[in-house]
A and B are shown apart, each in its own frame.
Chain A
């Protein structure tokens, strides 16, 4: 079977075929055999060309975590990734309506303070809100210049990592209109 994965920022192709109780792997144009033993639901033993490796696997709805030799990788299906984050600018930001920027909580936590008010003009790197998780305060900063369009949360509210906190309308877009 052929697979496509997004790993370490790149889309990679791999083919796995059953062969003589093991597998034949085709990867980057090279063929090799892999003897794969299931040790437990989270652990695979790989014997490849005489070398022994352990692969730990954790599964989430849309991604796998694979740890090999002390290095952890997040492995995702490229199609899913495109669908989910095509609109994302960077972590903690999403494209909102009319080219506006939705600032989301970077991690689950509690809103300690909203530092701006609606319609306020904001600078790049200005602190918009403070979200606390695990007793650490984290400042949420604006990556752009613009105006606060809407505020969705209030101080004291618990937020999940996907929860939009504020909507920012960029200055550049506004001036074009």
Chain B
């Protein structure tokens, strides 16, 4: 097993990986951009190295600089997390050349599955069902226009290097094709450094179901069942769960076996996910392979009891899988909500800024993978994901209730987040019935607002605000009574707390 690895990421996923390494007795090197000096991943790593200015292209995407840091710090391997360089075969190749292990698939497999167009060709050849559409990258507008007519509108613009919804656009008629291609190219260029696009038939109201797969370096491939990710906005998943109500045991087994076959065809190793769309007639189509640890991996961890980060580390270190397909069982139900820094009442505009106060929910069956803390300033440069709230319960209904309660206990003050919106999603009857398709958010949550606030809660907020306005004077009068209570709850010195309170109170 490795003694030291470099984590080439930031935010909640870097924190998740660093914690996993610490459990396994592996020391960690964090990298950070100039704006991330105070970020959580830097705080919890054993070592940390600044790798450049804030824009990702000057820091988290600087391949040679990152590999150089790995060599200088004596890190034997690099874990790329998700996003940034996670699915960049060039990076994986340069790691191989520098004799630093890339914790992910080999560069050939990465190149194949990362090229959406080439992998579509390979899967079609292996008789795996694919979505009808272009089988090569569009070269000019005329080709796109002709292909779109041939496929038939609506079509989906997709980035060949794609993932996470970046560069994707639905086009319902020819008038919308050119602007969609332009925007798709810009977004793909900025997200992946590659602006090649292709078109697919847009499957209306599908369900998005994906299979988690683990493959060791010796040809052993297992799937860890499905995650349903139909709750999406702008092609970004926001709620994920396992098991999926769209599958019965027979379909689950068929899709699971197909997922294993996809990985074998690709000569894939390490952790990966095979994404499928299921149409109204329960036909499934191969969508793509996500060749990385996914954002929603905790859902699988909770229902299978397998720690995917530990598995990734073991596989990368050359160990064999210690279980086979028959050993794996799904148990209970897990749901994940992604917490984004965005304003759901204002067209989901990003909401960077200072977090005045943050408190995470706790309790039985509640997991929180988190990259933020009170007082931290969310930078403008990166993905708006702040954290993930994941719950497990013995059945879906209890998991929904648990998620709903945990969201009520989620406290982020100072910036807008998706928490209020997520509560309404979880409480929606169609979601509760397990019938939601990828059209769900657009159908039920267009122009979403928080609704009129509860008058009783407004009154309480007024009492709290008035008390707070009294500020320093109030505190002075109450301090004898309260200092003891504070000491019991807060391990820091009551005088230190008092000092900060005074500053807050006199503002």
- Residues of A that sit less than 8 Å from B by CB: 1, 3, 5, 7-8, 12, 14-16, 18, 21, 23, 25, 27-28, 34, 36-42, 44, 46, 48, 53, 55-61, 64-73, 75, 91, 106-110, 112, 132-138, 158
Query: Which A residues lie within 8 Å of B464 (CB)?
Result: 36, 44, 46, 55, 57, 66, 68
Interface-lining segment among B224-232, B277-285, B329-337, B465-473: B465-473
Query: Which A residues lie within 8 Å of B413 (CB)?
Result: 42, 56-58, 65, 67, 72
- Tell whether A59 pairs with B463 under 8 Å between CB atoms, given A41-B500, A64-B468, A135-B190: no
- Tell whether A112 pairs with B186 under 8 Å between CB atoms, given A59-B356, A60-B414: yes
With both beta carbons as reference points, the residue of chain A lying nearest to B503 in the complex is identified as: A41
State the majority secondary structure of interface residues on A: strand
Query: Which B residues lie within 8 Å of A55 (CB)?
Result: 460-461, 463-464
- Tell whether A3 pairs with B466 under 8 Å between CB atoms, given A55-B461, A59-B507, A70-B408: yes
Partner of A133, one of B352, B454, B469: B352
* CB atoms of A1 and B191 under 8 A apart: no
In whole angstroms, how far apart are the Cα atoms of A81 and B343 in the complex? 21
**Apart from A8-B452, A69-B454: 13 A-B pairs, beta carbons within 8 A:** A7-B461, A12-B462, A15-B466, A27-B459, A44-B467, A55-B461, A58-B414, A60-B356, A106-B346, A112-B186, A133-B350, A135-B190, A135-B382
Query: Which B residues lie within 8 Å of A110 (CB)?
Result: 380
Partner of A38, one of B454, B460, B482: B482
Most buried by A among B234, B458, B478, B497: B458
* CB atoms of A56 and B411 under 8 A apart: yes
* CB atoms of B350 and A136 under 8 A apart: yes
Query: Which A residues lie within 8 Å of B462 (CB)?
Result: 3, 5, 7, 12, 14, 27, 75
In whole angstroms, how far apart are the Cα atoms of A25 and B453 in the complex? 21
* CB atoms of B460 and A107 under 8 A apart: no
Type the 1/0 row for B352-382, where 1 means its CB is closer than 8 Å to any CB of A: 1100110100000000000000100000111
Residues B461-507 near A (CB distance < 8 A): 461-470, 475, 477-478, 481-482, 485-486, 489-490, 497, 500-501, 504, 507
Say yes or no for B314: interface residue by CB 8 A criterion.
no
* CB atoms of A38 and B380 under 8 A apart: no
Task: Give the number of A-B contacts (CB < 8 Å).
Answer: 180
Query: Which A residues lie within 8 Å of B410 (CB)?
Result: 70
With both beta carbons as reference points, the residue of chain B lying nearest to A77 in the complex is identified as: B469
Type the 1/0 row for B240-256, where 1 means its CB is closer than 8 Å to any CB of A: 00000000000000000
* CB atoms of B380 and A109 under 8 A apart: yes
CB distance from B377 to the nearest CB of A (A): 11
Query: Which A residues lie within 8 Å of B478 (CB)?
Result: 38
* CB atoms of B454 and A58 under 8 A apart: no
Say yes or no for B304: interface residue by CB 8 A criterion.
no
Partner of A69, one of B351, B457, B481: B457
* CB atoms of A12 and B458 under 8 A apart: yes
List 20 A-B pairs, Cβ < 8 Å: A1-B466, A8-B458, A21-B481, A27-B459, A34-B463, A36-B467, A39-B485, A39-B486, A39-B489, A40-B486, A42-B356, A56-B357, A59-B356, A59-B468, A65-B357, A67-B411, A68-B460, A69-B408, A69-B457, A91-B346
In whole angstroms, how far apart are the Cα atoms of A142 and B463 in the complex? 40
* CB atoms of A66 and B383 under 8 A apart: no
Partner of A53, one of B374, B407, B460, B486: B460
